[in-house]
Amino acid sequence: MDQWRDVTLSELASAMREAELSWAPSNEFLRLGRFNLPPGGDILPRLKCNLWYFRTIYAALLGFLLTAVNVRRPLPLLAVLVLSLGGACLSDALTRKLSQQVIRLIRKVKPHLGERLRAESAGRTGLGAPGKGGTNIAGVPRAAVVAACCLIALLLFWMTGTLTRLAWACIAGGATVLTHAALRAPNLKVRLATQARAREEFRAVWRGYSAGAQHDYNA
């Protein structure tokens, strides 16, 4: 866990945003024999490691809790769906996929506009390091899409009087995630997978910067 002491929270958030989607094995998530207190009370490195490794499961757990508390209410369920869409846009991989799907749909309705958006998107993501492009969704800044989704979801929760229910679900979900991340002891498989993924991401970043530098030199 020593390598996680040097990782800042901002670096962890940036890595989680830029990383490709992955699903940790459910048996690793639920194995009861692997829960204990961190040695020496050094809890922060373990939190960082588990938040990285189980990030997709944690996000799915939060989405499940929000859905479960509003399962019989159509408008709050719609709000959960909109909020989940905004949360999904925080991932670079999902942002690129969503942008491609939206542009494909626009091309069927407005071919000229779709081709222009497709060319602009390809120009932004063709070069440079991974995670530097793809921050727009069909020409709209990702931050604007996320803000709009959050605003619409909060408005729907407010109109249906379920803001208190939302707050309790978020508190329960956050407490569950933090408790699991603090008590789940990473095993050798997790550490090896984390190190291998770090090496792969470094190579990908290096290839991206090398491609950008070569393009600038040729220009």
At 22, the amino acid letter reads S
Phi, psi angle pair for 23, to nearest 5° = -120, 115
Boundaries of every domain in the chain: 84-158
Mean pLDDT of 178-187: 83
For 35-77, the pLDDT digits (tens) are 777 777 678 888 888 888 888 889 999 999 999 988 888 999 9
Q: What's 127's DSSP letter?
A: S
Per-residue pLDDT for 93 more than 70? yes
Cα–Cα separations (whole angstroms), residue 96 to 11, 89, 121, 190: 21, 9, 9, 28
Per-residue pLDDT for 125 more than 90? no
d(CA 80, CA 86): 10
Q: What is the CA radius of gyration of the chain?
A: 20
Of 7, 14, 147, the C-alpha closest to 91 is 14
Report helix, strand or coil for 52. helix
DSSP letters for 167-185: HHHHHHHHHHHHHHHHHB-
d(CA 76, CA 67): 9
The pLDDT value given to residue 129: 44
For 128-171, the pLDDT digits (tens) are 444 444 478 888 888 999 999 999 999 999 999 989 999 999 99
Helix (H) or strand (E) holding 31: none
**Terminus-to-terminus CA distance in the chain, angstroms?**
44
pTM surpassing 0.85? no
Of 18, 14, 19, 7, the C-alpha closest to 46 is 7
- Token pair for 113: 């506009």
